[in-house]
Amino acid sequence: EIPQTTFKRVLLKISGEALMGDQGYGLHPPTVERIAREVRSVQEMGVEICMVIGGGNIFRGLAGSAQGMERTTADYMGMLATVMNALAMQSALEEQGVYTRVISAIRMDEVAEPYIRRRAVRHLEKKRVCIFAAGTGNPYFTTDTAATLRANEMNCEAIFKGTKVDGIYDKDPVKHDDAVRYDRVSYDEVLQKNLKVMDASAIALARDNNLPIIVFSLDEPGGFRGILAGQGTSTTVHG
Task: In whole angstroms, give the CA distance from residue 202 to residue 13.
Answer: 12
Question: Is 216 known as a binding-site position?
Answer: no
Pairing verdict, β 129-133 and 9-14: unpaired
Closest distance of CB 135 from ligand UDP, Å = 2
Closest distance of CB 199 from ligand UDP, Å = 8
> Phi and psi for 165 in degrees, rounded to 5?
-115, 165
Residues 6+ apart with CB under 8 A from 141: 75, 135, 201
**Nearer Cβ to ligand UDP (6/67):** 67
Question: Is 55 known as a binding-site position?
Answer: yes
Question: Is 169 known as a binding-site position?
Answer: yes
- Enumerate binding residues for ligand UDP (CB under 6 A): 15-17, 54-56, 60-62, 75, 78-79, 81-82, 135-136, 138-139, 141-146
Nearest position to ligand UDP, beta carbon: 54
Closest distance of CB 193 from ligand UDP, Å = 21
Question: Is 136 known as a binding-site position?
Answer: yes
Question: Is 142 known as a binding-site position?
Answer: yes
What residue type is 193 in one-letter code?
Answer: K
**Nearer Cβ to ligand UDP (2/80):** 80
Question: Is 235 known as a binding-site position?
Answer: no
**Nearer Cβ to ligand UDP (113/229):** 113
Question: Is 141 known as a binding-site position?
Answer: yes
**Nearer Cβ to ligand UDP (81/102):** 81
DSSP code for 16:
G
Write the burial class of residue 146 (CB in 10 Å: 0-12 exposed, 13-18 middle, 19+ buried).
buried
- CA 36 to chain CA centroid, nearest Å: 13
DSSP code for 215:
E
Closest distance of CB 147 from ligand UDP, Å = 9
Task: In whole angstroms, give the CA distance from residue 108 to residue 113.
Answer: 7
Write the burial class of residue 180 (CB in 10 Å: 0-12 exposed, 13-18 middle, 19+ buried).
exposed
**Nearer Cβ to ligand UDP (161/207):** 161
Closest distance of CB 2 from ligand UDP, Å = 30
**Nearer Cβ to ligand UDP (21/222):** 21
Pairing verdict, β 213-217 and 235-238: antiparallel
Binding residues for ATP: 13-16, 56, 60, 163, 169, 172
Binding residues for UMP: 55, 75, 136-143
